[in-house]
Amino acid sequence: MALPERNLGELKVDGTILLIGLSVYQKQLI
């Protein structure tokens, strides 16, 4: 099954948001 380009773009955005959220979360723990 091939995913529409739109879904791939949304996955990239979600991944970026997750990475930023994790980095911010770790900074708050320190």
pTM exceeds 0.75: no
Per-residue CA distances from 10 to 3, 14, 20, 30 (Å): 11, 6, 15, 31
Rounded to whole angstroms, how far apart are CA atoms 4 and 12? 13
Give residue 10's pLDDT.
87
As averages over each run of 10 residues, the pLDDT of the chain (30 residues) reads 72 93 88
Give residue 30's pLDDT.
64
Give residue 3's pLDDT.
60
Report CA Rg, the chain: 13
